[in-house]
Amino acid sequence: MPKKTFLKQILIWRAKYISHRQFVYILSIVIGFTSGVGAVVLKNLTHFIQHLLEGKLIKYYHHAFYFLFPILGLSIVYLIIKYVIRNKVSHGIPSTLFAISKRKGIMKRYQMFGSILTAPLTVGFGGSVGLEGPTVATGAAIGSNISRMFHMNQTSRNLLIGCAAAGAMSSIFKAPIAAIIFAIEVFSLDLTIASMLPLLLASLSAILTSYFFFGDDVLLPFRIEDKFYISDAPFYIILGVLAAFVSIYFTEVYDRIQKLFDALKSPVKKLIVGATGIGILVYLIPPLYGEGFDVINNLIVGNPEKALENNLFQMDLTNIWIVVLLLIGLMLFKIIASSLTFGAGGVGGIFAPTLFMGSIMGYCMSKIINNCGLFSSPISESNFTLVGMAGLLAGVLQAPLTAIFLIAELTGGYELFIPLMLTSTISFSITKYFKPHSVYNMELGRKGELITHDKDHAVLTLMDIEKVIETNFVTIRPEMNLEQIINKAVIKSNRNIFPVVKKDTHKLQGIILLDDLRPIMFDQSLYQEVVATDVMQKPPKVINLDTDKMTDIMRKFQDSSAWNLPVTKNGIYYGFISKSKLLTSYRRQLITLQGKS
């Protein structure tokens, strides 16, 4: 009771002395801080587990632990999800996008700690995924629940979820501008003054939190030394095309492996298949263990041999072509390892695997160009490694601005801005042509439930179909005669349309309009002769509740010019949707989305 009273007092004080906008600013700072703390906890816990296992047990005891640890870690994650959390812990960013598009920005409370309990175990024990997605999901869930606690509207909730995402990315990478752009690009937030300031405050709050706990440590401690020369532009164009094809490979492999695991149904079968698969891969290719930022840093500073020193085949790493071959294999198998980790029930993200593969792609291309003997002047291998990461981020995440600004901020300058723009734009454009939706929003995009920067589409996506369906229509059986139709339907209904429905199957046969009955309804000689099937007509369009989204419904009204359309669900008659009620609902949702309610 005291807690409720205290919260009520805060809400009353806020209503009296602080405007809605000012309160959003305050909450954005709080949420930025909590996202930063969440990032610190996730990172430190994961690195502690990984250092304890890989740094001591594997290094000083036996290489076979590379096989055992992923299986053990994923099994523990399965048990925690089943017996502790007792709810499915979905992939971080896709689950957040789903909450925005279909749950009005409401995220369940367990999502605030679900990823913290499971992601460090997944990655620390060797799962080949990243921590960025779980960190964003944790921050977003905290932001959502804080918003609900203070009775914020849907627009403010979505904005504060974006603030949490910006805070998480800012804390992890110490790249505050890229974090803001990430929130806008990936979560389709409107770029306005009203949204920009909360994002800035959250990003700033999170990065200060990160500096307080981590000091000056950064994931990619590298500063650009080589300049960009215009003569290298053709190579960056080629890198952009290559990044697009690798992005398509990444998306296709991820999608196909997820579908294979979906077909297994049983979580235990998924665990056995996925954990065994990732265990074998990590045993054969140890650099696939965990996030892989050590490999990225070694490539940037030009030490690929250090990244590959644990290779099981003990191949000669002084031969540059063997190094390139091993690195290409490492790149191709990374997404397979990540997909197996997800399929087994592991919790993580694809941000780090994307950076991992992009760095290898850029490094290998530059190494091949410098050693093929066709060009007199060498190109910068470190620059191509960095730009390769941006190219793959732009393609896989379909967030080119995030990719450009992230690498620019991580490297402490904008020397590579032109090649970053060139490669990212080409990669994004080609990938978008072949893969309309990124890995993050692939499933939502296929279902038509994805929020985009298209305001009209966003409003339709957020509308609840069930709320616009009317069921108070009097039904008619196909065998009913005119007298029965008039006495049992027309007299008892205030509607001018009647669905004709089979008695046993409840399937919609057609519709009867009052206008169709008026010429004959007073001719008693026709009462026994005319039956429903004689006067019914086929509806201009039928709305299928199982498959049609709000965009499809609006299109059917537009194409048919009808004012009422019947609705079916699971093949049986369900009700009607009227154009007037649909447009009223649309207007209300538009007002809500603009934050005017």
User: What are the pLDDT tens digits along the chain (597 aa)?
Assistant: 455 577 777 777 777 778 888 888 999 999 999 999 988 899 889 988 888 887 666 655 566 778 888 999 999 999 999 899 888 877 677 777 777 766 777 888 888 888 899 999 999 998 999 888 899 888 888 888 888 888 787 778 888 888 998 999 999 888 899 999 998 888 766 666 777 899 999 999 999 998 888 766 666 666 777 788 888 899 999 999 999 999 999 999 999 998 899 898 889 999 999 999 999 998 888 888 888 888 888 888 888 877 776 666 667 777 888 889 989 999 999 999 999 999 998 998 888 999 999 999 999 999 999 988 777 788 988 899 999 999 999 999 988 999 999 998 887 767 888 999 999 999 999 999 998 888 877 655 544 444 544 445 555 566 667 778 888 888 889 888 988 888 888 888 888 889 999 888 889 988 988 888 888 888 888 888 888 888 888 998 988 888 887 778 888 888 888 888 999 988 889 889 888 788 777 777 666 655 544
- Sequence-distant (6+) residues with CB within 8 A of 516 are 535, 537
> Does 162 share its domain with 254?
no
- In this prediction, residue 403 carries a pLDDT of 93
> Does 157 share its domain with 257?
no
> Does 51 share its domain with 147?
yes
Please check whether residue 224 lies inside any domain of the structure: no
CA distance 445 to 449: 6
Please check whether residue 219 lies inside any domain of the structure: no
> Does 311 share its domain with 358?
yes
Query: Model pTM?
Result: 0.77
Please check whether residue 500 lies inside any domain of the structure: yes
> Does 142 share its domain with 262?
no
- In this prediction, residue 79 carries a pLDDT of 94
Please check whether residue 279 lies inside any domain of the structure: yes
The CATH number assigned to the domain holding 169 equals: 1.10.3080.10
> Does 282 share its domain with 147?
no
Instruction: Point out the domain boundary residue: 214, 243, 258.
Output: 214
Please check whether residue 369 lies inside any domain of the structure: yes
| DSSP-based three-state secondary structure for 96 | helix
CA distance 127 to 118: 11
> Does 394 share its domain with 336?
yes
Residue type, 425: T
Please check whether residue 222 lies inside any domain of the structure: no
Instruction: Point out the domain boundary residue: 147, 180, 214.
Output: 214
> Does 243 share its domain with 209?
no
Q: Using DSSP bridges, classify how beta strands 508-513 and 497-501 pair: parallel, antiparallel or unpaired.
A: antiparallel
CA distance 96 to 90: 9
Q: How many other CB atoms are there within 10 angstroms of residue 166's CB atom?
A: 37
- In this prediction, residue 410 carries a pLDDT of 83
Instruction: Point out the domain boundary residue: 214, 242, 260.
Output: 214
464 phi and psi angles, rounded to 5 deg: -95, 115
Domain containing residue 272: 230-454
- In this prediction, residue 462 carries a pLDDT of 61
Token pair recorded at residue 574: 């369900």
> Does 531 share its domain with 472?
yes
> Does 429 share its domain with 513?
no
Q: In Å, how far are 38, 42, 95, 153 from 199, measured between CA atoms?
A: 17, 22, 20, 17
Query: Do residues 44 and 116 touch, judged by C-beta distance below 8 A?
Result: no
Measured in residues, the chain has a length of: 597
> Does 431 share its domain with 539?
no
Residue among 277, 292, 294 nearest 341 (CA): 277
Please check whether residue 411 lies inside any domain of the structure: yes
- Sequence-distant (6+) residues with CB within 8 A of 123 are 46, 50, 129, 130, 131, 290, 291, 348
Q: In Å, how far are 107, 131, 469 from 95, measured between CA atoms?
A: 9, 15, 27
Give how many domains the chain has, as a whole number: 3
CA distance 194 to 219: 32
> Does 442 share its domain with 468?
no
Please check whether residue 220 lies inside any domain of the structure: no
CA distance 226 to 525: 96
Residue among 343, 388, 346, 339 nearest 363 (CA): 388
Residue among 229, 219, 245 nearest 300 (CA): 219
